[in-house]
Chains A and B, each alone.
Chain A
Amino acid sequence: MSSRVKRDTARGFWFVLPAVAVIALVTFFPIARTFILSLYKYNLKFPSMKAFVGVNNYINLFQNQDFLNSLTVTVSFTLVAVSIEAVAGLLIALLINKDFKGRGMVRAFTLIPWAIPTVASAQMWRLMYSDQFGVINDIAKKTGIVHEYINIIGRQPQAFWAMVCADAWKTIPFMALLLLAGLQTIPPQLYEAARVDGANKWKQFWAITLPMLKPTLLVALIFRTLDTFKAFDIAISLTNGGPASSTELLSLYNYKVMMNQLNFGMGATISIVIFIFTMLIAFLFIKVLGANPYGK
């Protein structure tokens, strides 16, 4: 080891220490505690009855219908929402990937849905979905899609799709922006060469655009999949999980077990399961599909 490395490592230690210490304190230490808690029967209502139960919480959890329902809802929501967002985001990115007047403005406005709080965007959608003052019901009735106004977020399966739609509205622009940045790194010479060879736009898309965009697309997909899988805000503020738990995402179910039932032992178990799933998703993307979220 050169003396430079030795000296820098010693100095760097002090530069990095505060950040790593904080992260350890508020992340690693609590995760370890959550794991330990998940092995206990522990309800805040009856703290004296705390008892070690080993993996029993996990066994019970996977036999619990509410949990299994919530898991199904979350997996379907993630698959459906992320696919729609990726396809629509790609279409928009391709659309605005050319020079036109006002492109900068379109790009800036694209950021707005992404930046606003999900709680606020959920209120927007509730105002539009409502059967008492909502514009979507108005349009649906006028165009003959429905004959009577319906409470969209109070029905199955409409509520699920209403949640997908609200989530897509907020995220498609973000997806488009990331993919646009990726498209702009593709050298134009590739397209010129393809044109000389007589490849049409469709062929160019499959032979050049998609393969060149793959790294960006995978990184966008990994972050979107993780975010959607752990989504909480949209479910609690749009439908609060209803009707009949058809929109109860895992994080919301976890929240209710902890904060309404005060069942911290089972709550911790659900948290650990969510944690393991997120790590599996990240692993799948990075090791199997070759996504590289580390950038360079």
Chain B
Amino acid sequence: MKNRHKNILGKVLFFVGVAFVIFFMFFPFYWLFISSLKGDQELYKMPPNWLAHKPLWNNYIKIFTEHNIGRNLLNSLMVSTITTLVSLAIGSSAAYALAKFKMRGKNFVLSLILSVSMFPGIVIVSPLYILFQQMGIINSFASLILPYLTFSLPLTIWTLHSFFQQIPDELVEAASIDGASPFKTFIKIITPLAAPGVFTAAILTFIGAWNELLFAKIFITDSKKFTVPVSLILFQGQYDSAWNLIAASSVVITLPLIIMVLLLQKYIIAGLTAGAVKD
């Protein structure tokens, strides 16, 4: 009898705990969303309405027509996609060799690459700024994609390295006995098998590039080329009172990521926990 009471109490505490966690995580989103639907009069009001009484969907149209957020979304999409493709192209071949070849010095190369992922981004800002200015690529997407490779390459190489290691050596050897060149083995046999790993690395890189602010704010000064994080932070400075529009913009730039996370969570969790947990 006593045990059963204890059991019920435990269950109640458990659900209260889970409910609290979910509430804590979601309430900021809720507040952002209803703020994005409020008109000026309804927004600037204390105590605030916990619901948007007169939802103003027009705010969402305004940020596209008057503030051109579509352009920013397109810029971010381009920068993130190119960064992802370049990282995969040069990262996967390096990860493959480091995982499957009996190379000298591969542990050294691997730790070197990992240490790069720990470097603070700001330490490379000043020389790159001077260099990009001399090269005339300030304000081009190249000035973002190049520094983004400093975080995306270590991430891609480490993720793929652990996936490639799980592919049995016999497969690689069988292909090489059949006369396939290392490059052909890599493209025809390894890459399809490592598809989940490639996917994981691609998603993590894409998210990282989509969210990056420091380089994007420094290397791009032409408003037509702003990525979404930069446009949002400048919006804040320029239209200090348009908080409903800032809220709507935040919703719009966050939404693609939320959809991505919910659809692809399996791959993301695999990538995030690969480094932290040893099997």
CB within 8 Å of B: which residues of A? 1-2, 4-5, 8-9, 11-13, 15-16, 18-20, 22-23, 25-27, 29-31, 33-34, 37, 92, 95-96, 100, 106-113, 115-121, 123-125, 127-128, 130-135, 137-138, 141-142, 149, 169, 173-174, 177-178, 181-182, 185, 215-216, 219-220, 226, 229-230, 232-233, 236-237, 251, 254-255, 258-259, 264, 267-268, 271-272, 274-275, 278-279, 282, 292-296
Contacts and interface: CB of A to CB of B under 8 A. Distances in A.
Nearest to A102: B18
Given A15-B93, A16-B94, A27-B119, A123 B32 contact: yes
A123 B233 CA distance: 9
A4 to B, nearest CB: 6
Nearest to A278: B120
A94 to B, nearest CB: 10
25 contacts: A5-B102, A15-B94, A19-B90, A26-B146, A33-B126, A34-B123, A111-B261, A112-B262, A115-B261, A115-B268, A117-B213, A118-B213, A124-B28, A124-B31, A124-B250, A133-B48, A169-B28, A181-B273, A182-B276, A233-B213, A255-B125, A258-B125, A292-B278, A294-B114, A295-B278
Interface string B10-51: 000010011001101110110110010000000111111010
A19 B28 contact: no
Contacts of A133: 35, 43-46, 48, 243
Nearest to A141: B47
Q: Chain B's interface: helix, strand, loop or mixed, by majority?
A: helix
A184 B37 CA distance: 42
Contact of A30 (B127, B228, B269): B127
Contact of B126 (A5, A135, A268): A268
B55 interface: no
B191 interface: no
B113 interface: yes
Interface residues of B, number: 100
Interface string B182-217: 100000000000000000000000010011011001
Given A22-B146, A108-B265, A116-B211, 6 more contacts: A33-B127, A95-B17, A117-B211, A132-B46, A138-B48, A264-B129
Contacts of A29: 127
Interface in B74-95: 90-91, 93-94
Given A15-B97, A134-B48, A26 B25 contact: no
Nearest to A185: B277
B218 interface: yes
Closest 6 CB pairs of A and B: A15-B97, A33-B127, A181-B273, A19-B94, A30-B124, A230-B120
B261 A117 contact: no
B128 interface: yes
A225 to B, nearest CB: 10
Contacts of B274: 295
Q: Chain A's interface: helix, strand, loop or mixed, by majority?
A: helix
A79 B223 CA distance: 37
A191 to B, nearest CB: 16
Nearest to A120: B250
Nearest to A182: B277
Given A111-B265, A236-B233, A127 B31 contact: yes
B121 interface: yes
